[in-house]
Chains A and B, each alone.
Chain A
């Protein structure tokens, strides 16, 4: 049924349809609407989950680690500082192979205080062993949340559904909310491979000396590879039921493109507008939207980009001292190609700064007019900085 939903509420609807059994959360803007709506669902009986109020994000995830170990389908949501506070337990959840799903609303990290869109929070957790799925629209948010449970439970790894603060979390869009029967078909009840059981007591996650630890880590890497291989198959099933698919990456007009913009999240939508305009003027330009960041679909990306002359990667994030994080990953994927496009790395839209069609056109023009990038990362749309006031 088509409904007009806020992005946050699309997540909540998906969690309800997924029949999550345990929710544990601590409020933080811009995530709060998700768990607020879920608490409504729990209160009005439309979702019969155990809803735990905890004193921090660290505890929120710790509680879910317990719940998931006991075999319950578990969900939480957070942003920015909250995700940073979870860091230790992000590793624990993946190491314990618990398919927890977390909705992460991308928000800038402080200081200075900033509640607006920025991907550095989730991307700085890229090495924690979590599947990461970046979304562009309200519909994609709902669908991806359902997919995340399916994928996570398939490979016994936790998954993060990532959406931009406000541009997505607080924007109302028409969304097709599927029926419960269809969702049940796609996502049956969680059937854990192991669970806490007082009938057969055992120790979980005890000491792992050097002779086994490495194999356990390899098992996580293998599971990530299986997640990558299983993604398209999972989407096949999904589209069979719901008629929608997104792809680990989505190439837009890439076939004959000389210049390809590599994007993620809502900047993709703005880029679609630009590409439409440029194409009407005869420019050979395309977009490669990256949805699946972990596991990283390097091979597909290589295939999509190898024929282009230039690639411009737009990062709403920065790894200080290195540059845009998507850019690093894409460059690493391309370096195996004998002939590869020239890669331009742009940092744009940090801390919720709007990235408009004009901004993107500016980037496109720079790329078109230069044979090689002037810098490792080019910061788009910087304002002049006033003289320091610190010592006044």
Chain B
């Protein structure tokens, strides 16, 4: 065939770079990392979205260190935290919440197994020295955070071993003693000195008030609340917490298949009942309200029932008698009223009156604890006290900060950690900037404007750049996520559990942990998914050569906002251009 005519088509070899399409823009996208709801809900203010992101990438040490930035006790909290984070997880509205606690435990256990040493930022040494009374979770946290802020700390504990309620109040099937010991050893690596079997009396307290620049008091609650049953001799009925302490110290009473009554509905009551079961007794848990009113964790209650604990709800002890070496307990039936959903009901004796008798070999009461000694309580109304979220600062006659269970809003391990952290930061502000700066200083490091404080933010770490706005579910672009079932926590069978004190929750593999962490929306956080760059129609999102970060080339960004919409996790914002742009 003879040659054909070359086609006349639109081709141009001139560059379009001269056409600065950015001049068309009236909306401006920018990277704007925000706050995840889990982090805002975590009493310790852990950067959970980032922890999940690092875990999903297999960066277990970095993830563990990110926890330690805010919480020295991940192996503990990874087991016994009440998980306020999971109940606020945005993924709950999509399928199921991320198993945040299980991942925390995995990270702590992995770090412990690999004998990792964290590299954590700390301030230069300060001249002030601080005494911490009580090596429970709040005291350990206070000493840990104070050490990182540069203070020399001495920690005094009355018991032979540190841990407080963690060591003596929680059965080892929930928190094995070896795990706790290893974690405390790791916390002590932050530099404080620990003195056990060093009880602080009122006199000693006053003395150390003079010897140290400040005292943190984290004594906790250890004395049983009175409440005598008719027919009970004072001291005759053992407290549930005291019972657990006995067992945790190594005692092993045999109940030889006899009934034991446990009165109460909190975690201590449930723990005591399950401990009785493991020691061969037949526990009967007696609670005056309904099961759904019980303060104990629902999961613990159902496991207790599965194991064989008998629950009598809406019964209360009326009187007790001694009969042939046993106790005859008379119970009265109660009726619930004011039963609004989600609220604790109120109860009154059922009409017509109804009672039942229970023959038991032992009675345990777990109806509440108070401070062992009155002086340990934070003062109510005195000059120069400053009531903070989870601690109380007293500046006269000497500087004392009350923390832990006696000063927290909520009694939990993570609130104790929050209390220790708040006290450490408050003392640092007090020493470095003066009393008037304490409240504004604490405000500047709150996570998402919530009550939780962040040490990273206090130390002016990268987290300070985050927008305090807490990301809500509707701000997540769900088109970029697929449904995936939540991790199922592997456990011992009920039969295996009731035979001994082995830890019930089993380890999860790295693969499972990563898979679970991958489910995380990473609300408000850039996880380098690259959607902004891939969806930009103008190639105006520029990736750094090591692909660690992106920037927007405003010379060409038209402000269409596609990057912001296609960001799956609301880590970008679109704003009006502030100044009118020059006309072309």
Contact A200–B13 (Cβ < 8 Å) = yes
Contact B8–A237 (Cβ < 8 Å) = no
Contact B5–A223 (Cβ < 8 Å) = yes
Cβ-based interface call for A24 (8 A) = no
Interface residues of A in 184-219 (CB under 8 A from B): 193-194, 200-208, 212, 215-216, 218-219
Tell which of A226-234, A367-375, A377-385 binds the partner: A226-234
Which residue in chain A gives the minimum CB-CB distance to B6? A193
Closest chain-B Cβ to A178's Cβ sits at a distance in Å of: 19
Cβ-based interface call for B4 (8 A) = yes
Most A-side CB within 10 Å, residue of B5, B8, B11, B12: B8
Cβ-based interface call for B9 (8 A) = yes
Contact B1–A205 (Cβ < 8 Å) = no
Contact A207–B11 (Cβ < 8 Å) = no
Closest chain-B Cβ to A194's Cβ sits at a distance in Å of: 7
* Complex CA–CA separation, A230 to B11 (angstroms): 26
Contact B5–A226 (Cβ < 8 Å) = yes
Question: What number of A residues sit within 8 Å (CB to CB) of B?
Answer: 30
Contact A233–B1 (Cβ < 8 Å) = yes
- Looking at chain B, what size class is its interface with the partner chain? 10 to 19
Contact B1–A219 (Cβ < 8 Å) = no
Cβ-based interface call for B10 (8 A) = yes
* Complex CA–CA separation, A219 to B10 (angstroms): 12
Interface residues of B in 1-34 (CB under 8 A from A): 1-2, 4-14, 16
Contact A234–B1 (Cβ < 8 Å) = yes
- Chain B residues with CB below 8 A from A223, complex form: 4-5, 7
Cβ-based interface call for A97 (8 A) = yes
Cβ-based interface call for A222 (8 A) = yes
Contact A219–B11 (Cβ < 8 Å) = no
- Chain A residues with CB below 8 A from B6, complex form: 156, 193
Contact B10–A230 (Cβ < 8 Å) = no
Interface residues of B in 467-499 (CB under 8 A from A): none
Which residue in chain B gives the minimum CB-CB distance to A232? B1
Which residue in chain B gives the minimum CB-CB distance to A153? B4
Which of B1, B11, B14 interacts with A154 by CB under 8 Å? B1
Cβ-based interface call for A155 (8 A) = yes
Contact B11–A204 (Cβ < 8 Å) = yes
Contact A204–B8 (Cβ < 8 Å) = no
- Chain B residues with CB below 8 A from A230, complex form: 1-2, 4
Which residue in chain B gives the minimum CB-CB distance to A215? B8
Contact A216–B4 (Cβ < 8 Å) = no
Contact A207–B10 (Cβ < 8 Å) = yes
Cβ-based interface call for A96 (8 A) = yes
- Chain A residues with CB below 8 A from B16, complex form: 203
Which residue in chain B gives the minimum CB-CB distance to A205? B10
Contact A203–B11 (Cβ < 8 Å) = yes
A154-B1, A203-B16, A233-B2 known; A97 vs B11 contact (CB < 8 Å):
no
Which residue in chain A gives the minimum CB-CB distance to B9? A97
* Complex CA–CA separation, A187 to B9 (angstroms): 25
Which residue in chain A gives the minimum CB-CB distance to B8? A219
Contact A202–B11 (Cβ < 8 Å) = yes
Mask, A64-103, CB within 8 Å of B = 1, is: 0000000000000000000000000000000111000000
* Complex CA–CA separation, A279 to B350 (angstroms): 112
* Complex CA–CA separation, A202 to B14 (angstroms): 7
* Complex CA–CA separation, A206 to B4 (angstroms): 24
- Chain B residues with CB below 8 A from A200, complex form: 13
Closest chain-B Cβ to A263's Cβ sits at a distance in Å of: 28
Closest chain-B Cβ to A135's Cβ sits at a distance in Å of: 21
Contact B12–A216 (Cβ < 8 Å) = no
Contact B12–A237 (Cβ < 8 Å) = no
Which residue in chain B gives the minimum CB-CB distance to A204? B11
Which of A156, A206, A222, A233 interacts with B10 by CB under 8 Å? A206
Which residues of A are interface residues toward B (Cβ below 8 A)? 95-97, 154-156, 193-194, 200-208, 212, 215-216, 218-220, 222-223, 226, 230, 233-234, 237
* A-B pairs with beta carbons under 8 Å apart, 29 shown: A156-B7, A193-B6, A193-B7, A200-B13, A201-B13, A202-B11, A202-B12, A202-B13, A203-B12, A203-B14, A205-B9, A205-B11, A206-B10, A212-B8, A215-B8, A216-B8, A216-B9, A218-B8, A219-B5, A219-B7, A219-B9, A223-B4, A223-B5, A223-B7, A226-B4, A226-B5, A230-B1, A230-B2, A233-B2
